[in-house]
Amino acid sequence: MELTASERHRLKKMAYGHKTPHQARQRATIVLLAARGRGNARIAAENRLHVDTVRRWRGRFAAGRMPALDDRKRSGRPPTFTALQTAEVKALACQLPTESGAPLSRWSCPELAREAVTQAITDTISASTVRRWLKDDALKPWQHRSWIFIRDPNFRATAQRVLDLYARIFDGAPLGEDEYVISADEKTSIQARCRCHPTLAPGQARAMRVNHTYGRGGALAYLAAYDIHRAEVFGRCEQTTGIAPFMKLVEQVMTSEPYANAKRVFFIVDNGSSHRGKSAIDRLAARFPNAVLVHTPVHASWLNQIEIFFSIVQRKVVTPNDFTDLDQVRDRLRRFEGRYNATRSSRSSGSSPPPTWTICWPDSTGTQSPTYRKNPPRHSQHDQPPKDFRSRPLSSPGTAGPGGTALWRRPVRQARDKTAECRPEPYRPQPRGSDVPAQPSAPGTAAVGRGRPAPGLSTADVPTAARHGGPPNAQDR
């Protein structure tokens, strides 16, 4: 048997490789020994193989060369389920349970397996088999997502007007220095839940513990107005929402500087009953001539920036809800406003470029619903900003992307070498009979380790057993 240079090189790598499977190593060894002119019986005896095994792989290599050393395809176990049964189960997963008459809201793998047996698709099937079939086609019938149609016929124009105000533009003209944009809304039903047992503070490997049983102490409404570009919050607590409480909030803003003497102050609100329609616009203009009320599209209150502040309040102030009474709720909300406004210099975007918004339509015809994206990235970003990133600086020195667009960057965490803090000084034994003193690990400390004398001692002053770990000799005794 003759081998080419490339075949010999590959066979040697297979025969002597440390990570080569045992079967491949045996087959390569058989071929290499056969190329040296050895007979089948001798190869079988040297490698403790049957002569038929040597004959088989020697013949296969002679017929098919290197590819013939791989295992041939096997039929395997006959399939338990047919392709038709697999398709029927997948089709069942793509239907609503009500269409099959099952009293379920959504499918799960065990329920699909039971329904397949009920509908006589198969005699028996396990949930793991159904899960494996669904995974092949990325089917997850147990998940669901909600959606809503755009009901406002003027959605694009109305939303564009709001987004232009965020960029300090109104009717195609930039806003002046004495013009401001306020986002206002109400957060309803903030309850005072008095827990029956005190809340326990967190500890080591223990989260904060809040008692589930509580007594109701009433509820109130929290009204807030947020200056988009100055990052300042004005808030008040009322017993309920309505026209009168909302006008009190507007008066609280408009009677303070710089809004009292401003040229125009734009109030962005949703279509709630407290400030809905043309009547709310006229009522605000009659009370404050320099105030302009701007509505978001119907069912699009998510465009209102005050909702971000309400989310922060819910996560940092209200949850977990443990208040003795409503006075404690009012006091905490009022103190959080002061805390939030005290740090507004780190969130204000007055010296930064305004946020950019892009309306992305799914197709070129513009017939489908649009998608609004704030600060669309100009390149792929793998890091995600924190949840309340809009309340943080939109840009900072050294973090602006192309065109001045603010990009969020995850802070770089410096690697800490924990082993350097507890790594002992390596022990270096001295030659036998040497008078050179061993160096301690630190000045003023005794050396650690067998055979390492303290400062000021030489190895001659240390017994042999202490230096070498062996039995003491006669002179040491």
Over residues 208-228, the pLDDT tens digits come to: 999 999 999 999 999 999 999
Question: Taking the model in full, what pTM does it have?
Answer: 0.57
Output the CA–CA distances (angstroms, integers) from residue 228 to 20, 53, 113, 345, 407, in the order listed: 65, 81, 54, 13, 19
pLDDT, one tens digit per residue, over 129-171 is 999 999 999 999 999 998 888 888 899 999 999 999 999 999 9
Write down the pLDDT at residue 431: 53
User: Which of 470 and 84 is assigned the larger pLDDT?
Assistant: 84
CA 123 → CA 80, 82, 87, 97, 111, distances in Å? 11, 12, 16, 20, 15
3-state SS, residue 471 = coil
pLDDT tens digit sequence for 50-64: 999 998 888 888 888
Are the C-beta atoms of 449 and 427 separated by less than 8 Å?
Answer: yes
pLDDT for res 66 = 87
What is the pLDDT of the chain when averaged over all its residues? 79
At residue 388, does pLDDT exceed 60? no
Q: Which residues have CB under 8 Å from 280's CB, separation 6+?
A: 243, 269, 274, 293
Banded model confidence at residue 71, pLDDT cuts 50, 70, 90: confident
Q: Judge whether 337 and 316 are in contact, CB under 8 Å.
A: no
Write the DSSP assignment of 348-365 as a string of letters.
Answer: --TTSPPPPEEEE-SSTT
Tokens 């125009």 correspond to: 264
pLDDT tens by residue, 311-370: 999 999 999 999 999 999 999 999 999 999 988 765 554 444 445 555 554 443 444 555
pLDDT for 37 equals 85
Say whether pLDDT at 410 is over 90.
no
Measured between alpha carbons, how far is 307 from 313 in angstroms, rounded to an integer? 10
Strands (E), 261-348: 264-269, 291-295
Kindly state the average pLDDT of the residues 4-26: 88
Query: Does 310 score more than 50 pLDDT?
Result: yes
Residue 427 pLDDT > 80, yes or no? Answer: no
Residues in contact with 239: Cβ distance below 8 Å, sequence separation at least 6, in sequence order: 220, 221
Contacts of 314 (CB under 8 A, 6+ apart): 187
